[in-house]
Amino acid sequence: MNQKPVWEDREVKFDIPSIYKTIRSGELILDILDAVEDTKGNSGDCGRILVTNLRVMWYSITSHRFSLSIGYSCILTMNTKTVVSKVRGTTQALYILSVGSNSRFEFIFTNLTAVNTKHFASIFDVYRLYQGSTIYRELKLRSSVVLSGQLQVQPQEQIFNTINGVWNLSSDQGNLGILIVSNVRIVWYAEMNNSFNISLPYMQIASLRIRESKYGPALVIQTLETGGSYVLGFRIDPSERLGDVYKELLSLHSVYTETPVFGVFYEAPADVECAPTDSAFDIEELDSAAGSEINSKFTAYLADSGANDGSNVKRKPFYCKELGFAMESLKDGYTIKDLWDVLPSQ
């Protein structure tokens, strides 16, 4: 099976080039947050956050080299704080503590738009939805997926087949039960004890095959390492019926691999208006060289003006025709254009 393991929600990665072009199949961009700074890693760099159903991504809009990908499974704690700075005034900052590759990381994302007081609300909403939808992505054993003989069907889940008389070969004597096949998972539960059950999403299946066992031909399902590396066996009689179920599962698994369903269904609040170009592919990166040159001149001028080295003397004002008002004389080496055109001209 040519299934690529889903790593996006389980890893923390840095500096993926053009990260907004790495959206995998089934991953949906649920919200886009502009004017956000990665304060700890890329201070002074204005960036954008993409909130998907699997992770939070940040990237610089001036350089495609600087980016972050934080999977929801890696997040330990997340909260917001009100911060005050001389440059931004009073604004909101998002603090995320995460773990990845046996290391802990703290990220601080600062909202550069002080008028927006709910800038990070969608991240918390999507994260809660992710935590509450593990049934779509994780193997569940002896869970409450079946109540009173009825499968608890999840949103956007479609039941395709219900097969009676299926033996689970996990024990020496076997257990007779019912196998349910849907578009997102396989569920088996014992007829005599509904709490003895298995819920296996397709995204956790490593292989499907028919093998000989001491009970005769059996459907053997092996799970991925993220699913516990289990080997599950089921006997379905007669053998022709077993072959039909095997083909059906192969087909559904193939369809799921192309268009996976991760179980996070988010709708933005009605009072939040999205920009008409909220698409990762509508993003234009600013020229990094031009942006750095302009910003460095502006920053250098402010630094020189604020330096307390005795060289700063009051300069006589003059009337500036370009701006239409009187201003302090500029230092040598600077022009009005250097300080006025903070953003690159189009």
Domain spans in the chain, listed from the N-terminal domain onward? 12-133+264-301, 158-258, 315-345
- Do 12-133+264-301 and 158-258 have matching folds? yes
| pLDDT of the residue at 289 | 41
Reply yes or no on domain 12-133+264-301 having CATH 2.50.20.20: no
Pair 218, 231: CB distance under 8 Å: no
Nearest to 78 by CA among 122, 117, 48: 122
Cα of 141 vs its chain's centroid, Å: 26
Nearest to 89 by CA among 113, 109, 108: 113
Answer whether residue 287 shows pLDDT above 70: no
Q: Which two tokens stand for residue 314?
A: 């009051």
CA–CA distance, 246 with 219 (Å, rounded to integer): 7
pLDDT, mean of residues 60-88: 88
pLDDT, mean of residues 308-334: 71
In tens, the pLDDT along 139-159 reads 999 999 999 889 999 999 999
In tens, the pLDDT along 210-235 reads 999 888 899 999 999 989 999 999 99
Answer whether residue 302 shows pLDDT above 70: no
| pLDDT of the residue at 305 | 54
Answer whether residue 248 shows pLDDT above 60: yes
Pick the CATH number of 158-258 from 2.102.10.10, 2.30.29.30, 3.30.470.20, 3.50.50.60: 2.30.29.30
pLDDT, greater one: 168 or 65: 168
